[in-house]
């Protein structure tokens, strides 16, 4: 079982809906990440949070809004998404974003479908 | 720009037929090379971290090695349950910050037939 928990596992939403994806880890990690993965492609980094502060935004459209309420939780708020945003959204965590050689541990993702 | 290239794109093996997957990389300031396994509908599962050229790591039927330009994932006597996509990723500084970023290869889809 993965130590990074994501909910919901599946989400179907219309282009005008507002929804949120949630991620939780209890490994004491201080870096958390959101990735987007399209079918048969590798994960692509979206955001990095370090010590609960947004450190990296990989030029992600504003219809994706991340939030880190505390060191264990990470949310991704979705609004006015487009059909091309349908993908597997993965959350990951690591001990420290600047630490050498630290692996990232991934959750099983939320499968998002935009109608 | 950091680049990671994996080959082959897909590999079909018979059970027990050993083989290797390749990951070649070009990166400035390598902070580790990682191997992950990903099953359909699941997130990547961490397998190995490699730190420096010459290093080797083993886990069950898998052995990962690292040189200055590439890494290999050797699979000895594979079983059908080893079927998955294997992803290689390098960790390097990003955007002038001290933060690291994972750059993934495209993955190798491994199918092991009984």
- Dump pLDDT digits (tens) for B69-101: 999 999 999 999 999 999 999 987 766 566 667
- Dump pLDDT digits (tens) for A52-111: 999 889 999 999 999 999 999 999 999 999 999 999 999 999 987 767 788 999 999 999
- Dump pLDDT digits (tens) for B35-50: 999 999 999 999 999 9
Q: Describe the strand order of the beta sheet including A73-79 as a list of residue ranges.
A: A4-7, A18-25, A73-79, A64-70
Measured between beta carbons, the chain A residues lying within 8 angstroms of B101 are 45, 48, 56
What pLDDT is recorded for position B42? 95
- Dump pLDDT digits (tens) for A22-39: 999 999 999 999 999 999
Q: In sequence order, which residues have a C-beta less than 8 Å from that of residue B62 and are 6 or more positions away?
A: B35, B47, B48, B73, B74, B75, B76
pLDDT band of residue B29 (cuts 50, 70, 90) is confident
SS3 at position A93: strand
pLDDT band of residue A1 (cuts 50, 70, 90) is low
Measured between beta carbons, the chain A residues lying within 8 angstroms of B51 are 101
Residue A19 backbone zone (phi > 0: left; psi -120 to 50: alpha; other: beta): beta
Residue B68 contacts A where some CB pair is shorter than 8 Å? no
């Amino acid at each position: 079982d993965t130590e990074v928990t994501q909910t919901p596992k599946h989400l179907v939403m219309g282009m005008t809906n507002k929804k949120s994806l949630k991620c939780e880890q209890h490994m004491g990690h201080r870096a958390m990440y959101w990735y987007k993965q399209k079918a048969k492609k590798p994960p692509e980094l979206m955001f990095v949070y370090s010590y609960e502060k947004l450190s990296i935004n990989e030029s992600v459209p504003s219809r994706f809004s991340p939030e880190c309420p505390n060191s264990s939780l990470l949310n991704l708020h979705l609004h006015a998404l487009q059909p091309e945003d349908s993908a597997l959204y993965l959350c990951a965590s690591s001990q420290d974003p600047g630490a050498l050689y630290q692996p990232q541990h991934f959750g099983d993702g939320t499968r998002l479908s935009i109608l | 720009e950091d680049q990671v290239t994996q080959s082959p794109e897909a590999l079909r093996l018979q059970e027990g037929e050993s083989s290797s997957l390749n990951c070649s990389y070009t990166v400035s300031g390598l902070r580790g090379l990682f191997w992950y396994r990903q099953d359909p509908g699941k997130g990547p599962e961490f397998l190995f971290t490699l730190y420096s050229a010459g290093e080797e790591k083993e886990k069950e039927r898998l052995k990962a090695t690292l040189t200055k330009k590439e890494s290999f994932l050797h699979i000895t006597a594979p079983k059908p349950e080893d079927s998955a996509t294997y992803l290689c990723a390098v960790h390097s500084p990003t955007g002038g910050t001290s933060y690291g970023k994972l750059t993934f290869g495209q993955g190798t889809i491994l199918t092991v037939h009984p």
